[in-house]
Structure 1
Amino acid sequence: MDDRHTVSLLLVDDEPANLIALEAVLEPLGERLVRAESGHEALKRVLDDDFAVILLDVRMPDMSGIETATLIRSRRRSQTTPIIFLTGLEKSTEMMFEGYSAGAVDYLTKPVVPAILRAKVEVFIELERARSRLKDEVQERERAAAELSAVNALLARRNEELALANAELDAFCAAVSHDLRAPLAHVEGFVELLQASAGGQLQPKETGYLTAMRTETVRMRELIGDFLRFARLGAAEPQFTRVDMTKLARETMDELAGRRPEGSVRWQIDELPPVEGDERLLRQVWVNLLSNALKYSQTRQPARIHVEGASQGDELVYAVRDNGVGFDPQRAERLFNAFFRMHSASEFEGVGIGLASVKRIVQRHRGRVWAQAKPGEGATFHFALPRSAPAPSS
């Protein structure tokens, strides 16, 4: 808004010569000057326009300045408009009391001193500009508040829709995973029966087929279990307690150590800062990250896996480093997407749920995950959690 926008001044006098004199004094101010030659005309003007100040002659034949001021003050639109009385008579205490009672802010005696009149009027011009700026600012804030309220309402609806969609997806995944188990168990049982009843009559090649079928059914059962666990991650609100992250990481290491020959993996787990979180879910984070490091470093002799953590600002940041095959850093953001695989299934087993589960658990703790790597030079997976327990999600 232009701070120098023109304001309106109302000049009220029944003598045209006096109005010309007032205009000559006030014209240098560069504002809009509006004439009124009677009290009635002045009342019409204030109905149609807003004025920074009204210069009002006290003595007018049809309606005195005092009466005019009283009526101006009685109208809501003009009840706070400043009024300066102009009088050709000597000011008396009684006259001044009557004028101030009618709402005058000042009294000047004719003929007025131009410099004094301009100085007083300029004060009210600046007050009007300040009032106008404040009004515009309030209106702008009200518009912004209304827009923000509308955006928040839309966001709330979208969040509700997303939460509902996620809940339905979780329920669907859980139902599918559960329903797949029954027929798979039947297939696995029939394979066992066939091996038991006809095993001696089968050719070695046929026996190999049965063994492969049984191996694949076991693998399918494990995959369904992974799907089911992933779907259940969104089912319940995390239960926050004080979690010893060093203990969790070392227990996970002990569980996984048996998957590789003794001495083939060099583990290093530093002292890790404890955190407020759901111990059951955070254990799954360590299982997935350490399993991932173990899997992708299996071609190294020895494999090296290093776990570290530190407090950084309002976060507790943890990292799992390995010296495995690494990955293309340009594809790092996709690593945590469900079912995304950086490497082919023939190279490394899995369906791409482990890191997606890590991301989902960490985000449910109001944290974040990211990864860094170079092909052939190992990888580092980070996750950060709030130093204090976050407020429960609605």
Structure 2
Amino acid sequence: MTFAVARPDGLAPLRSIGLDLRREVAGPDSHEWSLALQRHQDRIGCLMSSTGGDASKVKLLLVDASERALVPLAQILDLPDRELFLVSSGAEALAATETHDFALILLAVELPVMDGFATAAKLKASERSRLVPIIFITTGHADAAQISSAYESGGVDLVHRPFDAAIMRAKVAVFVDLHQAREQLRAHEVRARGEADRLAASLVEADRLQQQFLSTLGQELRPPLNAILGWIRMLRDGSIREAQRVRALETVERNAIAQLALIEEMIDISRMTSGTLSLELGTVNLVDVVGLAVEDVRPLALEKQVTLFAALERDVAPLSGDVERLRQIAHRLIGNAVSCTPTEGVVTVSLCNVDGEVELAITDTGPGIEPNLVPKVFERFAGETGIPHAAGGLGVGLAIVRHLVELHDGKIGVESAGLGQGCRFVVKLPVTGRQPRTDDEVR
């Protein structure tokens, strides 16, 4: 237990020491008190210049010019969950309340220079201490005038010495309980305000994302639609030669596929938001799934003159999962890597067993990612932050990939040494025998 004490003669500065008075001080003798202080000099810190103390303990301020009265009172109120501050004058009491929040002040009426009533008036005039309850302590019988002054000064009680120790403990316990209840209520209010602020911020962010999504959707839908409509009109009115018909149909098909991909992304993000994105489970050979995804992306790699290398171990353990969703994961990651890698770059796809899991890794020699942006790669609309792998489409592709991986009870991460250093995306999936998670669990 920590006591803050002052020499009753007022000559020594106010000090805070770790001192068990019942053990260190056999009685309220001035000489022994001084010796106890001397023995604890190495643990002394000035209370006036510190706002320290154990925040978990209730602080009580005991004010009395007489150490013969102060020490026994401290002994009576000594409990493990309390921190007692002992001072010998009104001025020291005022100073203590400027740096500490007290649950209760026990204030002697008989004080030099400024008596207890005058001290209480100043305490009540201070914004910091005006609500702290004060119990006045006086020597001998209190007359009507003294009782009136006690309550007019803002006191909640007036106790005269000698007092019953059990009654004093009970009185103090009431105010300690009230203080703790008030602090709990205050903490609850702070938490509630914090939750309200976070909710308001999340609503603002949700509205911003919705507006951004609609804007991006319009930008992404318009070009392929315009291309499709343009070529269809030329085919219908016969304004293109027969030799161009194949090219026209290929362009229409390519843009229709792009439209379909956008619509599928819209459906997936809607299901993610509502928690209705589900898996059609079965035993999956991931070697075949990843191999097909590599071949699907190879034409793009050839067009960009990017080397696409696949190292797929044939003995990879089977998975319990949704074959189409796993294909979607592989296709998106490999396609992104090829799209982001410049001409004559290299994209490597590897698949192997690692520590009881299947690991799919896609490494590219593309532009890399700034270290501060790595944690944002899998957020929705991450492409808006300048992350190349998240750009294109509706900007939600990698967010969907992460969700699908987590539905399979897997993990996904990305590594990059920085700009110009390429990227490495790693997906780890459990082998057959572990059940995929539900959409509610992922959310």
Q: TM-score, normalised by structure 2?
A: 0.48
Give 1:229's aligned amino acid: E
Structure 1: stretches of 5+ with no match in the other structure: 10-22, 57-82, 85-119, 201-206, 344-349
Query: Is the alpha carbon distance of 1:308 and 1:162 closer, same or farther for their aligned partners in structure 2, counting shifts above 3 Å?
Result: farther
Query: Is the alpha carbon distance of 1:189 and 1:198 closer, same or farther for their aligned partners in structure 2, counting shifts above 3 Å?
Result: closer
| 1:172 CA displacement | 5.8
Kindly provide the CA deviation profile for residues 150-199 of structure 1, in whole angstroms up to 9, marking residues without a partner as x. Answer: 121232233344445544554565566566665433211234357x6652
Among residues 149, 152, 159, which one is paired with 2:192 in the alignment?
A: 149
Listed as ranges, the matches of 1:114-133 within 5 Å are 120=165, 124=168
Among residues 219, 238, 250, which one is paired with 2:288 in the alignment?
A: 250
| 1:284 CA displacement | 2.3
- The equivalent residue for 1:71 is none
Do structure 1's residue 266 and structure 2's residue 286 form an aligned pair?
A: no
> Is the CA contact 1:170–1:234 (under 8 Å) kept in the aligned structure 2?
no
- The equivalent residue for 1:158 is 201
Listed as ranges, the matches of 1:5-24 within 5 Å are 5-6=61-62
> Is the CA contact 2:350–2:362 (under 8 Å) kept in the aligned structure 1?
yes
Do structure 1's residue 34 and structure 2's residue 117 form an aligned pair?
A: no
> Is the CA contact 2:287–2:312 (under 8 Å) kept in the aligned structure 1?
no
Give 1:50's aligned amino acid: V
Do structure 1's residue 233 and structure 2's residue 289 form an aligned pair?
A: no
Query: Is the alpha carbon distance of 1:393 and 1:51 closer, same or farther for their aligned partners in structure 2, counting shifts above 3 Å?
Result: farther
CA distance in 2, matches of 1:38, 1:341: 78
- The equivalent residue for 2:402 is 362
CA distance in 2, matches of 1:255, 1:285: 9
Give 1:231's aligned amino acid: M
- The equivalent residue for 2:426 is 382
Among residues 320, 325, 328, which one is paired with 2:365 in the alignment?
A: 325
Q: Name which of structure 1's ranges 286-295 and 169-178 shifts more when overlaid on structure 2.
A: 169-178
Do structure 1's residue 199 and structure 2's residue 255 form an aligned pair?
A: no
> Is the CA contact 2:297–2:335 (under 8 Å) kept in the aligned structure 1?
no
| 1:27 CA displacement | 6.1
Secondary structure at the counterpart of residue 269 of structure 2: coil
Among residues 179, 189, 202, which one is paired with 2:232 in the alignment?
A: 189
Structure number with bigger Rg: 1
Kindly provide the CA deviation profile for residues 196-251 of structure 1, in whole angstroms up to 9, marking residues without a partner as x. Answer: 66527xxxxxx78x987776665554444444333333212243458569535632
Kindly provide the CA deviation profile for residues 311-343 of structure 1, in whole angstroms up to 9, marking residues without a partner as x. Answer: 89xxx8954233x42433436637662365749
- The equivalent residue for 2:91 is none
CA distance in 1, matches of 2:262, 2:285: 27
Query: Is the alpha carbon distance of 1:274 and 1:168 closer, same or farther for their aligned partners in structure 2, counting shifts above 3 Å?
Result: farther
| 1:298 CA displacement | 8.5
- The equivalent residue for 1:307 is 351
- The equivalent residue for 1:59 is none
| 1:8 CA displacement | 8.1
> Is the CA contact 1:265–1:304 (under 8 Å) kept in the aligned structure 2?
yes
CA distance in 2, matches of 1:368, 1:171: 30
> Is the CA contact 1:230–1:357 (under 8 Å) kept in the aligned structure 2?
yes
> Is the CA contact 2:349–2:361 (under 8 Å) kept in the aligned structure 1?
yes
Structure 2: stretches of 5+ with no match in the other structure: 1-50, 54-58, 73-87, 89-106, 109-136, 300-306, 431-435
Kindly provide the CA deviation profile for residues 234-274 of structure 1, in whole angstroms up to 9, marking residues without a partner as x. Answer: 2122434585695356324224426549x974331574795
CA distance in 2, matches of 1:240, 1:321: 25
| 1:362 CA displacement | 1.8
Secondary structure at the counterpart of residue 140 of structure 1: helix
Query: Is the alpha carbon distance of 1:139 and 1:311 closer, same or farther for their aligned partners in structure 2, counting shifts above 3 Å?
Result: farther
| 1:287 CA displacement | 1.8
> Is the CA contact 1:308–1:318 (under 8 Å) kept in the aligned structure 2?
yes
Give 1:250's aligned amino acid: D
Kindly provide the CA deviation profile for residues 55-87 of structure 1, in whole angstroms up to 9, marking residues without a partner as x. Answer: 47xxxxxxxxxxxxxxxxxxxxxxxxxx63xxx
> Is the CA contact 2:358–2:429 (under 8 Å) kept in the aligned structure 1?
yes
CA distance in 2, matches of 1:240, 1:34: 76
Kindly provide the CA deviation profile for residues 25-65 of structure 1, in whole angstroms up to 9, marking residues without a partner as x. Answer: 63665561425745645764674523595447xxxxxxxxx
CA distance in 2, matches of 1:42, 1:311: 81
Secondary structure at the counterpart of residue 285 of structure 1: helix
Do structure 1's residue 290 and structure 2's residue 346 form an aligned pair?
A: no
CA distance in 2, matches of 1:290, 1:369: 14
Give 1:235's aligned amino acid: S
CA distance in 1, matches of 2:198, 2:229: 47
Give 1:307's aligned amino acid: L
Among residues 362, 383, 394, which one is paired with 1:338 in the alignment?
A: 383
Query: Is the alpha carbon distance of 1:199 and 1:390 closer, same or farther for their aligned partners in structure 2, counting shifts above 3 Å?
Result: closer
Do structure 1's residue 49 and structure 2's residue 155 form an aligned pair?
A: yes
CA distance in 1, matches of 2:343, 2:318: 29
> Is the CA contact 1:305–1:320 (under 8 Å) kept in the aligned structure 2?
yes
Kindly provide the CA deviation profile for residues 71-124 of structure 1, in whole angstroms up to 9, marking residues without a partner as x. Answer: xxxxxxxxxxxx63xxxxxxxxxxxxxxxxxxxxxxxxxxxxxxxxxxx48x94
Secondary structure at the counterpart of residue 310 of structure 2: strand
> Is the CA contact 1:246–1:272 (under 8 Å) kept in the aligned structure 2?
no
Give 1:328's aligned amino acid: G
Secondary structure at the counterpart of residue 266 of structure 1: strand
